[in-house]
């Protein structure tokens, strides 16, 4: 009887420790699952924030370049040639559909610097389906097709749809390349975005800093037709994104040049790697954004931990 009692106690002890082990294993697995879900969420939020920032400021670039031929290349961005016939637009508050363009010259009789305010009012639906409001304010040191020319842009209560846009955007002409024998001209610009912030109505936001070199690769033989121009974009960015109670920092590097076309409002090709600040470049949670094969569409593929996710650009 004593032997049976002892065996019973031993069996009970083994059973008890087995239960503890099982519970511990389940808790560890649960924690790992939770951690994986959070890593996935953080990588998706960071990559989507970078893609959204890229879209918003690519649009700003096109609009600053495209106001008129006096300061850039008329007819790109919101300034489609259906609304903008070309150069010589110097009058004050000339209307373009539901927005106005105001041009001033602070140092008359000198033409430059030239200040241009694009005012979208309380809300201006564009042909691209976006509704813009507020003001884009740019000061040009010269026409942006000339080496050394610079345009510095800030924003006054500017929104794209419901996204409030803040920060400083600077375009600098890094030089031109003249190709013989047809003497075509290739433009090279540098675009620097400093202290950018994109805020949504629910309080979520993205902060973004970016330095990109934008080099013309096609369209140089038709200098007066910018809508056939194609550019490669190279460089880096970094930022923070707030989603609910979470705040993530990240850095981004273009690993295959992005391709931008003036006749498309989205990046159409190229690969970008987004790495959160607390991760290594070899982490499985690094996000890789692939913008596609050159087609003009608002789709991109984000691959995280070997799993592709299709995202829709703004």
Q: Is residue 7 part of a domain?
A: no
Distance separating alpha carbons of residues 129 and 133, to the nearest angstrom: 13
**For each of the chain's 314 residues, which pLDDT tens digit applies?**
433 444 344 344 433 333 333 333 333 323 344 588 889 999 999 999 999 999 999 999 999 999 999 999 998 988 874 333 333 333 334 445 689 999 999 999 999 999 999 999 999 998 888 999 999 999 999 999 999 999 999 999 999 999 999 999 999 999 877 665 555 678 899 999 999 999 999 999 999 999 999 999 998 778 778 888 999 999 999 999 999 999 999 999 999 999 999 999 899 999 999 999 988 999 999 999 999 999 999 999 999 999 999 999 88
Q: Are 230 and 260 in contact (CB under 8 A)?
A: yes
The whole-number pLDDT of residue 170 equals 98
Q: Are 174 and 150 in contact (CB under 8 A)?
A: no
As for how many domains the chain has, the answer is 1
The whole-number pLDDT of residue 20 equals 34
Could you tell me which residues come within 8 angstroms of residue 136 by beta carbon, excluding any fewer than 6 positions away? 60, 63, 64, 117, 118, 120, 153, 155, 158
Q: Is residue 16 part of a domain?
A: no
The whole-number pLDDT of residue 30 equals 32
Distance separating alpha carbons of residues 216 and 233, to the nearest angstrom: 9
Q: Is residue 28 part of a domain?
A: no
The whole-number pLDDT of residue 92 equals 38
Q: Is residue 149 part of a domain?
A: yes
Distance separating alpha carbons of residues 102 and 112, to the nearest angstrom: 15
The whole-number pLDDT of residue 13 equals 42
Report which of 66, 50, 22 is spatially closest to residue 212, judged by C-alpha positions.
50
Q: Is residue 18 part of a domain?
A: no
The whole-number pLDDT of residue 181 equals 58
What is the sign of the dihedral through the CA atoms of 145, 150, 155 and 156?
Answer: negative
Cα angle 226, 192, 109 (rounded to 5 degrees) comes to 70
Q: Is residue 1 part of a domain?
A: no
The whole-number pLDDT of residue 110 equals 95
Q: Is residue 2 part of a domain?
A: no
Q: Is residue 304 part of a domain?
A: yes
**Domain that includes residue 261, residue range:** 39-312
Distance separating alpha carbons of residues 59 and 41, to the nearest angstrom: 27
């Amino acid at each position: 009887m004593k032997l049976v009692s002892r065996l019973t106690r031993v069996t009970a002890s083994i059973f008890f420790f087995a239960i503890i082990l099982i519970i511990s294993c389940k808790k560890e697995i649960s924690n790992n699952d939770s951690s994986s879900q959070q890593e996935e969420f953080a990588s998706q939020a960071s990559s989507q924030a970078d893609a959204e920032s890229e879209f918003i400021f690519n649009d700003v670039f096109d609009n600053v370049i495209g106001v008129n031929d006096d300061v850039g290349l008329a007819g790109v961005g919101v300034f489609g040639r259906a609304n903008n016939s070309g150069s010589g637009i110097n009058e004050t508050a000339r209307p373009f559909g539901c927005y106005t363009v105001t041009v001033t010259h602070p140092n008359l009789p000198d033409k430059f610097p030239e200040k241009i305010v694009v005012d979208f009012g309380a809300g201006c639906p564009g042909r691209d389906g976006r509704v813009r409001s507020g003001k884009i304010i740019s000061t040009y040191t010269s026409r942006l097709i000339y080496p050394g020319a610079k345009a510095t842009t800030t924003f006054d209560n500017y929104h794209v749809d419901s996204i409030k846009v803040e920060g400083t955007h600077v375009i600098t002409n890094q030089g031109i390349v003249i190709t013989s024998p047809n003497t075509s001209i290739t433009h090279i610009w540098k675009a620097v975005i400093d202290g950018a912030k994109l805020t949504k109505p629910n309080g979520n936001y993205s902060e973004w800093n970016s330095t990109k070199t934008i080099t013309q690769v096609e369209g140089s033989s038709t200098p007066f037709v910018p809508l056939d121009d194609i550019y490669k974009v190279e460089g880096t960015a970094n930022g923070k994104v707030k989603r609910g109670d979470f705040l993530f920092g990240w850095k981004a590097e273009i690993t295959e040049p992005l391709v931008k076309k003036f006749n498309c409002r989205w990046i159409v090709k190229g690969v970008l790697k987004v790495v959160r600040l607390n991760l290594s470049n070899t982490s499985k949670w690094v996000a890789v954004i692939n913008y596609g094969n050159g087609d003009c569409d608002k789709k991109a593929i984000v691959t995280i931990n070997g799993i592709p996710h299709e995202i829709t650009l703004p």
